[in-house]
Amino acid sequence: MATSILPARARPAIPGPSDLALFSNLRKLQENQLHFLTHMARTYGDVVRYRLAHLTIYQVNHPDGAAQILQGNHKNYGIEGVPGFKTLKLVFGDGLITIDGDRWLRQRRLVQPHFHHRQVATYGDMMVQSTLDLMEQWRDRRVNELPLDMNTELSRLTLLNVVQALFSMDIKQDAAYLDKLTMELAELVSVRFANPLYPPLAVPIPGNKKFIALRDAFDSHIYRAIRQRRADLAEGREFHDLLALLMSAKDAATGEPMSDKALRDEICTFVSAGSGTATQALTWSFYLLAAHPDAEDRVRREVTALGNRLPTVADLPQLPYTRAVIDEAMRLYSPVWVLTRRSLEADMICGYHIPPRSTVLVSPYVMHRDPTYWPDPERFDPERFLPANTAGRHPYSYFPFGGGPRLCLGKDFALMETALVLATVMQRYRARLLPGHPVEAYTRAAGLHPRYGLLMTLHEV
């Protein structure tokens, strides 16, 4: 790409607000990140440059630009050193999400086979069973009268699923506690993320103390699970899960197995990456279906046409509309709403010069609602995703799972899980939003979630 770099005097200026707006930009971003990112894109176009306190941001709003960053010239755009990176490190250590280059490639190659479609399909029955277990609890809770927070319910379910599938751990007893812990931790991560001036962890302010306490509590659970696994192995038990794969790996240079700290980092990464995002894809699907009874009826017709039995992985091809609802929910409420990278060398994106060591953003949320690529973008219309209607679409006008070599590792897992959970619940229940309950999308590191939860009543069909 360096060959296309223009001499400085011939470079077109990148549109954007005045550099003097460095603090007002920050304030507006903190008030409403989605609104700020959307406003920048719609006001200034394909590439926008703006200041956020001491940071200079390049926000790329064209699918060609997203494709170049995530795929075509991905080697030029790393994760290490992006704003908030130190915060990410505090939580994920050296897990897959927070490493770059050769280390990332080795680790990705190690775990990739575990996410092959065939392997993932083996988790389907377990996911349906855990959904059934949850529905059994609902039955005892008079959910037709007493509203429950669907966001919390689904969050526990996806946490159980990912921990059970990848680490063979049964955390039913602790699920509520662990879920609360991860949510609170994610909240504090988000606060640090949105504020580049947040004091480092060594400064003993209440937010930092709480952060350390939550992380330590989370870690003690993970380390206990690792100890338990070692004890089980010593007793001759066999495992074929992701933890077994990680524990059997040897460092190419030293021949040493992964340390407990390295195992902790990957467990934390997979649990966090795999739970919050899937929760939000499901939560918004239930919300949108409750608001669109026609679409809801169509999903129900599809899932009841399977007969008087539970859905299985083999049924998924017979549920195209159910899948389209999930796709459309992730278009409107992309769980991962922004992707951040740091350029290594200079590059040209959509005709604009991006300097080396720049912070570059692409926002699935903004792109998914761009009227250039999505007619009537605010309208919920699952038809957009039925196979007959997707031809000719730019692949990076819709990228809830990112793209290129760092494409979400759990994409198949998530698509299967969300479809099976939605189908299983819809076979038995109609969910209705509690009248008057406010719903507002809120940006949290663990995914775009409803700020006040999603209070719903559930009615047997």
**336 makes contact with ligand HEM (CB under 6 A):** yes
Interaction of residue 162 with ligand HEM, rule CB under 6 A: yes
Residue nearest to ligand HEM as judged by C-beta position: 410
Nearer to ligand HEM, 34 or 273 (CB): 273
Q: Least CB distance from residue 97 to ligand HEM, whole Å?
A: 5
Beta bridge partners of residue 348, listed in sequence order: 353
Give the type of residue at 86. Answer: K
Q: How far is the CB of 103 from ligand HEM (least distance, A)?
A: 11
Q: At what angle do helices 124-139 and 150-167 cross, to 10 degrees?
A: 140
Q: How far is the CB of 309 from ligand HEM (least distance, A)?
A: 25
Under the criterion CB under 6 A, does residue 278 sit at the interface with ligand HEM? Answer: yes
Rounded to whole angstroms, how far apart are CA atoms 122 and 31? 43
Q: Report the residue from 29, 154, 188, 273 that binds ligand HEM according to the rule CB under 6 A.
A: 273
Minimum distance from residue 267 beta carbon to ligand HEM (Å): 11
Alpha-carbon distance of 207 to 190, in angstroms, equals 12
Binds ligand HEM (CB under 6 A): choice among 97, 143, 163, 263:
97
Q: Which is nearer to ligand HEM, 25 or 277 (CB)?
A: 277
Indicate the residue among 129 and 208 with the shorter CB distance to ligand HEM.
129
Q: Which residues make Cβ contacts (< 8 Å) with residue 246, sequence separation at least 6? A: 110, 111, 258, 263, 266
Instruction: Give 78's strand partners.
Output: 342
Which residue from 58, 167, 198, 270 is in contact with ligand HEM, where contact means CB under 6 A? 270
| Residue 277 engages ligand HEM in binding (rule: CB under 6 A) | yes
Type of residue found at 353: H
Please, what is the minimum distance in Å from the beta carbon of residue 98 to ligand HEM? 9
* Residues 11-70, interacting with ligand HEM (CB under 6 A): none
CB of 94 to ligand HEM, least distance (A): 12
Residues in Cβ contact with 161 at an 8 Å cutoff, skipping those fewer than 6 apart: 123, 126, 127, 130, 278, 417
Return the number of the residue (384 or 406) whose C-beta is nearest ligand HEM.
406
Q: Which is nearer to ligand HEM, 79 or 455 (CB)?
A: 79
**Whole-angstrom distance, CA of residue 446 vs CA of residue 185:** 9
When asked if residue 274 is in the footprint of ligand HEM (CB under 6 A), the reply is yes
The yes or no reply on residue 242 touching ligand HEM (CB under 6 A) is: no
Of residues 17, 83, 124, 400, which one binds ligand HEM by CB under 6 A? 400
Count of residues that bind ligand HEM according to CB under 6 A: 23
List Cα–Cα distances, 160 to 167, 213, 349, in angstroms.
10, 23, 42
Strand order across the beta sheet in which 359-362 lies: 47-52, 55-60, 359-362, 339-343, 77-78
Structural element, H or E, at residue 450: strand 447-450
CB of 9 to ligand HEM, least distance (A): 35
Closest CA to 145 of 456, 426, 430, 461: 456
Classify each residue of 7-41 as buried b or exposed e, where b means 16 or more C-beta atoms within 10 Å of its C-beta. Answer: eeeeeeebebbeeeebeebbebbeeebbebbbebb
Closer residue to ligand HEM in complex, CB, 16/403: 403
Backbone φ and ψ of 106, nearest 5°? -60, -45
Query: Which residue in the set 108, 180, 221, 298 belongs to the binding site for ligand HEM (CB under 6 A)?
Result: 108
Closer to ligand HEM by Cβ: residue 16 or 276 = 276
What is the smallest separation between the CB atom of 418 and ligand HEM, expressed in angstroms? 6
In this chain, which of 49, 192, 264, 406 binds ligand HEM, going by CB under 6 A? 406
Give the tokens for residue 380: 């919920």
How many Cα atoms are found within 13 Å in the side-chain-facing hemisphere of 69? Answer: 30
Please, are residues 37 and 363 in contact by the beta-carbon 8 Å criterion?
yes
Q: Where along the sequence are the contacts to ligand HEM (CB under 6 A)?
A: 96-97, 108, 162, 269-270, 273-274, 277-278, 281, 335-336, 339, 400-402, 406, 408-410, 413-414
